[in-house]
Amino acid sequence: MNRGTTPIRRSTTPTFWREAALPYLEARRVEDGRKVCYAKHAHDTFSIGAINGGRSTYLNGTNRQHIGTGALVVINPEDVHACNPIDDEPWSYLMLYVDAAWLAELQRECGVNQRHGFSRFSATMTTRADLHAGLNRLYGILADEHADILQKESAARIFFGDVQLALGGTSPLPVHASHPKLARAVEFIRENFSRSLKLDEICAAADLSSSYLIRSFKQRYGMTPHAYLINCRIEYSRSELKRGRAIADVAAEAGFADQAHLQRAFRQITATTPSRYRG
């Protein structure tokens, strides 16, 4: 390095993009992800992300692998996943979160899904250069303050139409869906996440013993019932924080003991703070 040259410092702080006119899209970009770690979690949204530098570990369901620059991760709604840095290696990425109902309508328009509801993708990762470049190009348009809504919406529809044509194909239902009693446990937690739950309540709703519930829930869904409960609370918190609501109010409504409890859980799952996410 020449004397007097200052090394380029890349931001470790996530950048979020949202726009009121396009409520079905949200983006997250991280330039330096070496310290950005996530616990296993799931979203109601469809997620797609581009690795733009370095390498990371990628967990999707029971499949764990190392992925690098040029990879595109594909995550169906409700699939348990996590992407994390490898030791102290460089890692930068872009994630886009898409409302499943909006994408389901686009699938119907493309003629690939004639039934109601989102059609899951079979692929969990691809290295197709055109899709990787396409996602970054879409983000550039979405984040451009001078681009109008029509341009942004058109670009989103074109890109996800390309994704559907390239990667379309139905994967199995979420692992819990083929187990009716386990599905009832999931539904009970989702409907009651905002209050304190006891294991006996969940077992009664699912008609399962506690030992079987805990073992099968983790085996089939990738996390314990308690972890799933916290995940539901975080998903609710994300939706309310995007509306600009007070963190303390959201914490109370989501079922957290206090704002500090929300702060800890939110950072563990989203790798950022509620205040930064709210913007």
Instruction: Give the pLDDT of residue 215.
Output: 86
Q: How confident is the model at residue 266 (pLDDT cuts 50, 70, 90)?
A: very high
Looking at every residue in the chain, the average pLDDT score rounds to 90
Where along the chain do its domains lie?
15-167, 180-278
Q: How confident is the model at residue 8 (pLDDT cuts 50, 70, 90)?
A: very low
- Exposed, middle or buried by CB within 10 Å (0-12, 13-18, 19+), for 23? exposed
pLDDT at 114 over 70: no
Lowest mean pLDDT: which of 86-90, 137-141, 163-167, 262-266?
Answer: 86-90
**Residue range 125-146: mean pLDDT, rounded:** 97
- Number of neighbours of residue 131 by Cβ within 10 angstroms: 19
Beta bridge partners of 94: 29, 50
Token pair for 126: 């691809």
Query: Each residue of 181-204: pLDDT tens digit?
Result: 999 999 999 999 999 999 999 999
- Exposed, middle or buried by CB within 10 Å (0-12, 13-18, 19+), for 163? buried
**Residue range 73-89: mean pLDDT, rounded:** 92
With pLDDT > 90 as the criterion, what percentage of the chain qualifies?
Answer: 74
With pLDDT > 70 as the criterion, what percentage of the chain qualifies?
Answer: 91
Ranges 80-89, 104-113, 217-226, 240-249, most confident: 240-249
- In order of 70, 103, 161, 194, 266, the CA distances from 256 in angstroms are 39, 32, 39, 8, 11
Answer yes or no: are the C-beta atoms of 131 and 72 closer than 8 Å.
yes
Between 175 and 69, where is the model more confident?
69
Query: Each residue of 98-112: pLDDT tens digit?
Result: 999 999 998 888 777
**Residue range 44-61: mean pLDDT, rounded:** 95
Q: Please tell me the distance from the alpha carbon of residue 88 to that of residue 105, in angstroms, as a whole number.
A: 41
- CATH of region 180-278, choose from 1.10.10.60, 1.20.810.10, 3.40.50.300, 1.10.10.10: 1.10.10.60
Q: How confident is the model at residue 4 (pLDDT cuts 50, 70, 90)?
A: very low
pLDDT at 113 over 70: no
pLDDT at 3 over 80: no
Instruction: Give the pLDDT of residue 5.
Output: 45
Q: Which CATH superfamily groups domain 15-167? A: Jelly Rolls (2.60.120.10)
